[in-house]
Amino acid sequence: MSDKIPWAMALSDFFGGSGEAAAVNPADLKNVWTMMRDAQARAMAGQLTSIDSRAYENVCSTDADVVAVWYRVSMLELLQMVPAKPLTPWSHGGEFDDAVFQVAATFPMKKLPVGIEQNGLPFDVQEFVKQIGALA
């Protein structure tokens, strides 16, 4: 992505647009999830951490839509924060079963337009969980 579109511009285009986030490779989701979990673990240990956009690009396949990967991983993080914790059956010590990444890679997720208030997550959480359960 760094050779094609600067990261900030890609984010602006992504959130300024409408429609759905692009489908991505489940392996890219898993790699970014792992990288973000590692960074969070270092932060909890008192180390200052930040993730440069190139780090995302480095753990994704060469043709990946890195912004869509980041967005989909962010939705998984949000699901870990809601009180119901719907992904708990497939979460083990901060890692997910492959079924979570398989479904999250292609499940319809709307982009979040800038400046418009959003109630709830931009996808059908119940159907998302149902599909994970059917695959697991």
pLDDT in tens, the chain (136 residues): 444 445 555 665 666 667 899 999 999 999 999 998 888 877 766 666 667 778 888 999 999 999 999 999 999 999 999 999 999 999 998 899 999 999 999 999 998 776 777 788 899 999 999 999 999 8
Run of H or E residues at 73: helix 66-81
Extract the tokens encoding 54.
């190139």
CA distance 47 to 77: 21
CA distance 14 to 67: 8
Extract the tokens encoding 19.
């429609």
- The pTM is what? 0.84
For the chain, what is the largest distance between any 2 Cα atoms, rounded to a whole number of angstroms?
40
Task: Look at residue 118 in the predicted model and tell me its pLDDT.
Answer: 73
